[in-house]
């Protein structure tokens, strides 16, 4: 049996497109609807209660469009994955925190690992809990990098200004002893700044993100539930809660392919 329904993916903005990119690569026969809640970005400076409400509204909007599962392609919103799963049950819901923790441990099994993420993700300690849930007691340092999201959304991802900001945030992480063996990009916007982060961190520190492991986890869930699409004819569409033209223009950097402005629909989640 083949299930042609699309997979719903959402983020506060364009960062989740770095996850969608990997999903498209791993699951070329699947259709996707991506929702960027651009009107309410950033999520990463908001309270956990507000983020939960936003995440539930975004997920419900995707369900209303007939998706067969929801991928929360935002670390901050993934903190609410249990609340979203409860709302959508029995529809499968997958966040990016557990896949990210798995990727970090694969890159640095004995640690130390530095987790860089939004303020809300760091405050909630979700990555520490996810790494511990995998049975690891490696040393973990965490650092919030609040300016990375606006830089990435602005498409300002390289050059001296970006490197100075990266150095400012990574300073305490790089000086922590023992030095981290891996930096986990615990926000789906941060892979856009990977070049600048790598330049500041140096070649000995591995940079990991959750995109690839999240795509593997989505593929496994589809198989497990018997809802893969083998019929081909994959479609890609986009929803944004503000400025669809800007989403199409700047989103191409995150997705790694052009986005047709005509394929981005403006919606209201309130």
Q: Could you give the residue numbers annotated as active site?
A: 74, 187
Contacts of 174 (CB under 8 A, 6+ apart): 180, 200, 201, 205
Q: Does 43 bind ligand DGL (CB under 6 A)?
A: yes
Choice from 38, 56, 57, 118 touching ligand DGL (CB under 6 A) = 118
Q: Does 36 bind ligand DGL (CB under 6 A)?
A: no
Stretch touching ligand DGL by CB under 6 A, among 11-19, 157-165, 215-223, 247-255:
11-19
Q: Does 121 bind ligand DGL (CB under 6 A)?
A: yes
Q: How far is the CB of 47 from ligand DGL (least distance, A)?
A: 13
Stretch touching ligand DGL by CB under 6 A, among 73-81, 83-91, 240-248, 256-264:
73-81
Choice from 38, 56, 57, 75 touching ligand DGL (CB under 6 A) = 75
Q: Does 142 bind ligand DGL (CB under 6 A)?
A: no
Question: In angstroms, rounded to a whole number, what is the distance separating the alpha carbons of residues 77 and 94?
Answer: 11
Stretch touching ligand DGL by CB under 6 A, among 7-15, 58-66, 137-145, 195-203:
7-15
Q: Does 209 bind ligand DGL (CB under 6 A)?
A: no
Residue 210's Cβ-count burial label (10 Å; 0-12, 13-18, 19+) is buried
Q: Does 76 bind ligand DGL (CB under 6 A)?
A: yes
Q: Does 74 bind ligand DGL (CB under 6 A)?
A: yes
Q: Does 18 bind ligand DGL (CB under 6 A)?
A: no
CB nearer to ligand DGL: pick between 36 and 92 = 36
Q: Does 15 bind ligand DGL (CB under 6 A)?
A: yes
Choice from 122, 149, 208, 218 touching ligand DGL (CB under 6 A) = 149
Choice from 23, 35, 41, 200 touching ligand DGL (CB under 6 A) = 41
Q: How far is the CB of 42 from ligand DGL (least distance, A)?
A: 3
Q: What is the 3-state secondary structure (H, E, C) of the chain?
A: CCCCCCEEEEECCCCCHHHHHHHHHHCCCCCEEEEECCCCCCCCCCCHHHHHHHHHHHHHHHHHCCCCEEEECCHHHHCCHHHHHHHHCCCCEECCHHHHHHHHHHHCCCCCEEEEECHHHHHHCHHHHHHHHCCCCCCEEEEECCCHHHHHHCCCCCCHHHHHHHHHHHHHHHHCCCCCCEEEECCCCHHHHHHHHHHHHCCCCEEECCHHHHHHHHHHHHHHHCCCCCCCCCCEEEEECCCHHHHHHHHHHHHCCCCCHHHEEECCCC
**What token pair was written down for 164?**
């100075």
Determine the straight-line distance between the first and last CA of the chain, rounded to whole angstroms.
36
Q: Which residue is nearest to ligand DGL (CB)?
A: 44
Q: How far is the CB of 137 from ligand DGL (least distance, A)?
A: 25
- How many residues touch ligand DGL (CB under 6 A)? 17
Binding site for ligand DGL (CB under 6 A): 11-13, 15, 41-44, 74-76, 118, 121, 149, 187-189
């Amino acid at each position: 049996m083949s299930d042609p329904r699309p997979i719903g993916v959402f983020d506060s903005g364009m960062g989740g497109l770095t996850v969608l990119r990997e999903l498209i690569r791993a699951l070329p026969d699947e259709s996707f609807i991506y929702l960027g809640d651009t009107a309410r970005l950033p999520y990463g400076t908001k309270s956990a209660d507000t983020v939960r409400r936003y995440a539930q509204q975004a997920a419900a909007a995707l369900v209303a469009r007939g998706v067969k599962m929801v991928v929360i392609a935002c670390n901050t919103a993934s903190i609410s994955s249990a609340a979203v799963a409860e709302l959508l049950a029995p529809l499968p819901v997958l966040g990016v925190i557990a896949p990210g923790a798995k990727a970090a441990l694969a890159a640095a099994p004995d640690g130390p690992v530095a987790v860089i993420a939004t303020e809300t993700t760091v405050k909630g300690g979700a990555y520490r809990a996810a790494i511990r849930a995998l049975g690891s007691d490696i040393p973990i340092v965490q650092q919030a990098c609040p300016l990375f999201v606006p830089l990435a959304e602005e498409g300002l991802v390289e050059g001296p200004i970006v490197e100075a900001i990266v150095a400012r945030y990574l300073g305490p992480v790089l000086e922590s002893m023992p030095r981290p063996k891996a930096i986990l990009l615990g926000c789906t916007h941060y892979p856009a700044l990977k070049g600048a982060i790598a330049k500041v961190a140096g070649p000995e520190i591995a940079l990991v993100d959750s995109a690839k492991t999240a795509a593997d986890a989505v593929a496994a869930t589809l198989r497990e539930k018997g809802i893969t699409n083998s019929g081909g004819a994959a479609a890609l569409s986009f929803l944004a809660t503000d400025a669809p033209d800007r989403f199409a223009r700047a989103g191409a950097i995150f997705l790694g392919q052009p986005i047709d402005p005509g394929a981005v629909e403006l919606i209201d989640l309130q």
